[in-house]
Chains A and B, each alone.
Chain A
Amino acid sequence: MCLAIPVRIEEITGQMARVALGGVSREVSLVLTPEAQAGDYVLIHTGYAISVIDEAEAQETLRLFAELEEASREVEAEEAAARNDRSREDATLS
C-alpha cells in the first residue's frame, strides 16, 4: 500500500507534472513537493509526488557499495593467504 515509484518529471504545468510511468504518460500532483523541478526524479505514491530523490545521497550509497566491494576483496585476499599459510603448515607437519 505504501508503494512509491521513482519517476522523472518531464514537464510541469501549475501544480501538476507529466511523468512517464511504466511507459505510460501520466499526470501527477506536485502539491506535496512544490520544490520539484522538471528533470528531477520524484517518488510517486497514489498520484502524488511525496519526495524528491536526492541524487547526492544516491551517489553516496553507491560509493559505500564500492567501498564494500573493495573491503570484500581485501577480506577474500586475507582468507586466501590464511588458507595458503595453513596448507604450508600442514605440508610441513606431514
Chain B
Amino acid sequence: MTHMESFRDPATARRLIDAILRQVTGSLRVIEFCGGHTHAIMRYGLRDALAPQVTLLSGPGCPVCVTASADIDQAIALSQRPEITLATFGDMIRVPGTKTSLQGARAEGSDIRVVYSALDALQLARELPAREIVMLGIGFETTAPTIAAAIAQARAESLKNWSVYSMHKLTTPAMRAILDAGEVAVDAVLGPGHVAAITGWEAWSFLATEYGVSCAVAGFEPTDILQALLACAQDKAAGQPRVTNSYGRGVSAEGNLVAQGLMAQVFTTADAAWRGLGIIPDSGLAIAPEYAAFDARARYALPGLAEGPLDAEAALGCRCGEVLRGVVEPAGCPLFGTACTPAHPVGPCMVSAEGSCAAHYRYQGVVA
C-alpha cells in the first residue's frame, strides 16, 4: 500500500496544524531546501494556514534553478557542434543562459533531445552510433546516482559515443553556505526527503550539532510536511535542536548504500558554480579520472568550471539569487508577476515548475 490518501487526509492535516500552532508560543522560522516542498506547501495552502506564527522560507529549490548561466552557455556551445546530439531532462530546456536557452539553440538548429531518464539517453547512443550523445548531468544527490549508474552501464557496454557533462551538485555544502552567509536566520530546516533517501537522514545531523538548527527530513505529501514542522516546533519549544526523520517510509539513517557506492566509484567532488550562491568548494560532482572516456569535459577539453557569469538575469533586475538564498520572497522582486511570469520568465526560479517564483505565482491566494 502507498497509503497516499492517508498522507493527504485533510482532517489529519488540520490536527497537525493545530498541534503545531499550540507548540509555537512565539515564532518559528523554517527554510525548506527543496523546490518540491515549496511546491507542495503552496499547493496545499500550508503557508497561509500556519501564518503568522510560522514563517516558511524557500531555499535553493531545484538543481535547475541553481545551474549557472555559464553552464547553460557551455551546454549550448556543445549542442552547436555538428557531431553532437545533446540529451537533457525537460526541466532544463527553458533555463536562460547569457544570451539564449537550450530551447532557443534548438530553434536555431541544435540537435537537442528531451529524455525522461538517463536510460533513454543510453538508448539514443545505441540507436544513433554515428552521433556523439552528450547527456546533461543535472541534479542533486537524488539524481546523481542514476547518472552514475548510466555511466557504469555505458562502460560495461563499451559505448563509444556517450558522455556526460556533469553539473551535479551536493545539497549539504549549499545549506552550509546559506547559513554561513548569515543573511537569513532560521530555527529549523525542512530536510529534502528524496535527497535523504540517498544520503540518509544522518547526513543532515550537522545542522543540529554544528549550527544549533533543527532539521526534520520530510516527504512530499501535506501531512509529511506538517509532521516535520511539528517536530521543528517541538524542538524549539524544548530549546533542543535535533535532526528528526519525518519520512520513515522512504528514508533511513544511512540512506541508499548501493547508490552512495556507485556515486563514490564514478564521481569525485569538485568546486561548483551555483546561481545565487557563487562558487562553493567541493559542492559539485565531477566524473572520476577512471571514467574520463565518458566525461564530456575531458572529451571536448572544457574547463572544470564554465567561464562566464553565474546569473546573467541579475542585470535585468531579477532577484532570483536572493530568492534562492531565502533572503527575499518572490513577491519582493520587482519583476515578479509583471515582467516575469511563467509564460515569459526572466529568471530560473520562474522557469522551473519547482522554482519558488513559479510556485508562488501559480498558487498565490490559495488558502487551506
Contact = CB atoms under 8 A, between A and B. Distances in A.
Highest count of chain B CB atoms <10 Å: which of A51, A54, A62, A72: A51
Nearest to A44: B117
Highest count of chain A CB atoms <10 Å: which of B16, B117, B145: B117
Interface in B109-159: 116-120, 138-140, 142-143, 145-146, 149, 153
A39 to B, nearest CB: 11
A45 interface: yes
B119 A51 contact: no
B251 interface: yes
Interface stretch (B178-186, B256-264, B323-331): B256-264
Interface string B2-22: 111011010110011011001
Nearest to B148: A32
Contacts of B64: 1
Contacts of B195: 2
A84 interface: no
B258 A34 contact: yes
Contacts, number: 134
Contact of B3 (A34, A48, A62, A68): A62
A58 B12 CA distance: 15
A54 B117 contact: no
B249 A54 contact: yes
A1 B12 contact: no
Interface residues of B, number: 55
A1 B143 contact: yes
A48 B147 CA distance: 10
A6 B89 CA distance: 20
A32 B139 contact: no
A89 interface: no
Give the interface size bracket for A toward B: 20 to 34
B337 interface: no
B260 to A, nearest CB: 10
Q: DSSP class of A's interface residues: helix, strand, loop or mixed?
A: mixed
Interface in A34-84: 34, 41, 43, 45-48, 50-51, 53-55, 57-58, 60-62, 64-65, 68-69, 71-72, 75
B223 A50 contact: no
Contact of B248 (A41, A50, A61): A61
A12 interface: no
A41 B116 CA distance: 21
B15 A45 contact: no
A41 B249 CA distance: 10
B249 A72 contact: no
Contact of B19 (A48, A62, A72): A72
Nearest to A6: B2
Contacts of B7: 61
A45 B22 CA distance: 37
A46 B117 contact: yes
B35 interface: yes
B35 A65 contact: no
Contacts of B4: 6
Contacts of A4: 142, 194, 197, 250
B6 A1 contact: no
B1 A54 contact: no
A57 B195 CA distance: 18
A2 B252 contact: no
B59 interface: no
Highest count of chain B CB atoms <10 Å: which of A1, A58, A62, A68: A1
Contacts of A64: 227
Contact of A57 (B119, B140, B220, B249): B249
7 contacts: A1-B140, A3-B220, A46-B117, A50-B259, A55-B1, A61-B7, A65-B6
Given A1-B139, A4-B142, A8-B2, 13 more contacts: A1-B354, A3-B36, A29-B119, A29-B146, A31-B258, A34-B258, A47-B117, A50-B142, A50-B145, A50-B259, A54-B250, A58-B3, A71-B19
Interface of A: 1-4, 6, 8, 29, 31-34, 41, 43, 45-48, 50-51, 53-55, 57-58, 60-62, 64-65, 68-69, 71-72, 75
